[in-house]
Amino acid sequence: MVPKPPARETSSGFIYVPPYRVQGFSIAGEGTVVQVPELDVCFDIGTCPRMVLPSPLVALSHGHMDHVGGLPYWLSQRHFQKLGPGRIACHQRLEGPLRRMLESWVDLERQKTPFEIVGLEDGEEVQLRPNLMLRAIEVSHTSPSMGWVVIERRSKLREEFLDLPQDRLVELKSRGTPITRTLEIPLVAYTGDTEMGPFLLRPEFCEAKIVLSECTFFDPDHRGRAKVGRHLHVEDVAQLVRSWKAEAVIIVHLSRRSPLGMIRERLDAIDGGAHKDRLLVLMDHRANRRRLEAQVAAEAPAGDDAAEARAATEVQAGEEE
């Protein structure tokens, strides 16, 4: 008898929250890698799909294999494809062990792959672009763990100077008067693996436009398991979404054991469905495809049936379940 070919690999999740694409793969224990190409950042790298190679920086939440497994491969492929050395941002306590792991590859491969690694403490930042910072927020898991927030800094004219003419402003500035103040806009926050805690209610999380949140347990009987593994349970997420103002809360790190239908039901039940439309699941391919089709249709000029049909087939072509 002819043997069956292996099962198709699970494809990547994709959610568009204009102007950001959130794409990647995330299943608890197997692998989590979530990229936001517009912000040049990739959160964790449990596996290394091709699409994350252009990301110049990986922000690691912690050292569990399902979050770092793809790291040496990413660095090596970036080097091989001449994309420049990869930068790694991690918890300060992970820097030494990661360095040792990466240096041992030099002996294994008999070649040196360049990398840059920055260990951070709670509240410290690395720069992504001139106005774009990545801030570390320490969370609590079974090993040292960081959450991350990408923050845009905008400089705004101070209230008291709003009505002044340009030449007056130039004059004030030349005399050294600070005429602007800096606004911080949290764009995307990532919880990493964590249990519930006050750090998840810091302003960076509450104000972020998009929150990527782990949620590993959904069964009401699994509260104890969540506590032991120091993970979020859907009842924690229910509390958090009341404080998070994000237009999209994207759930990652689902367990393969929880059926998607049950997950969706439990998310939809939070506050009688009040957060239903902004609670998205990265690996719910079907729901995300429908959402994307609606986004494409909304973009097409009214009555342009051909464009809508085209969009639907394009979306389907890019999708493998």
| Contact set with Zn ion (CB under 5 A) | 64, 66, 193
- CB neighbourhood size of 146 (10 A): 29
Q: Give the nearest distance from C-beta 28 to Zn ion in angstroms.
A: 6
Distance from the Cα of residue 213 to its chain's centroid: 8
C-beta of 66 vs 138, nearer to Zn ion: 66
Integer angstrom CA distances of residue 168 from 160, 181, 264, 316: 13, 17, 57, 57
Q: Give the nearest distance from C-beta 217 to Zn ion in angstroms.
A: 12
C-beta of 193 vs 207, nearer to Zn ion: 193
Residue showing tokens 């229910």: 238
Through-space distance between the first and last CA atoms of the chain, rounded to whole angstroms: 27
Q: Give the nearest distance from C-beta 141 to Zn ion in angstroms.
A: 5
C-beta of 64 vs 266, nearer to Zn ion: 64
Q: Give the nearest distance from C-beta 291 to Zn ion in angstroms.
A: 25
Q: Give the nearest distance from C-beta 46 to Zn ion in angstroms.
A: 7
Report how far residue 46's alpha carbon sits from residue 60's, in angstroms, rounded to the nearest whole number.
9
C-beta of 66 vs 195, nearer to Zn ion: 66
Report how far residue 83's alpha carbon sits from residue 55's, in angstroms, rounded to the nearest whole number.
9
The string of DSSP letters for 31-93 reads EEEEEEGGGTEEE--SS--GGGTT-SEEE-----HHHHTTHHHHHHHHHHTT---EEEEEEGG
C-beta of 66 vs 207, nearer to Zn ion: 66
Integer angstrom CA distances of residue 155 from 90, 169, 180: 28, 15, 6
Q: Give the nearest distance from C-beta 292 to Zn ion in angstroms.
A: 27
C-beta of 211 vs 315, nearer to Zn ion: 211
